[in-house]
Structure 1
Amino acid sequence: MNPKTDRLVKRITMVATVTASYFLLTADYGPEPNILNPVKDGILSAESAVKEYIFGSKKESQESQVGKLDNKKEHP
């Protein structure tokens, strides 16, 4: 077999094995806390950090909206 093809097949096999293992482990435990929670928490934390970086903080946008509403109330 071609070395590039062989390497690709090995990588796909490794990814498929890890993915299948993850799904089998989580299916056994369901929503209960398990050993994979730190991984899940890390993924969720990274996701929220990226969203906050791209779209800005929710707190900042809420504070600016409240400030705008307060200004409208003072100046009818």
Structure 2
Amino acid sequence: MTPPEEVDRLLRIDEVKRRVCLGKTMIYRLIRQQRFPAPYKLSPFAARWSQREVVEWIDRVKDGFEGKKRRW
């Protein structure tokens, strides 16, 4: 059996927006620029994001947007 920390959930857009604190328009703009993980299309009307990919993206940018260090 796979340990819980290795299970990858699929997230809806509302959950992705909440986790990354960005709006839908900005998320899709970053996807077009290949700067945010693309969703998996489950059907023509359903897209889901990999929780693991979203968490990895957050880890890469948590020191400041686009990887820039915050200046305090």
TM band (smaller chain): under 0.3
The normalised TM-score by structure 2 is 0.26
Higher strand fraction (1 or 2): 2
Higher helix fraction (1 or 2): 1
Comparing both chains, which one has the higher relative contact order based on Cα–Cα distances under 8 Å and sequence gaps of 6 or more?
A: 2
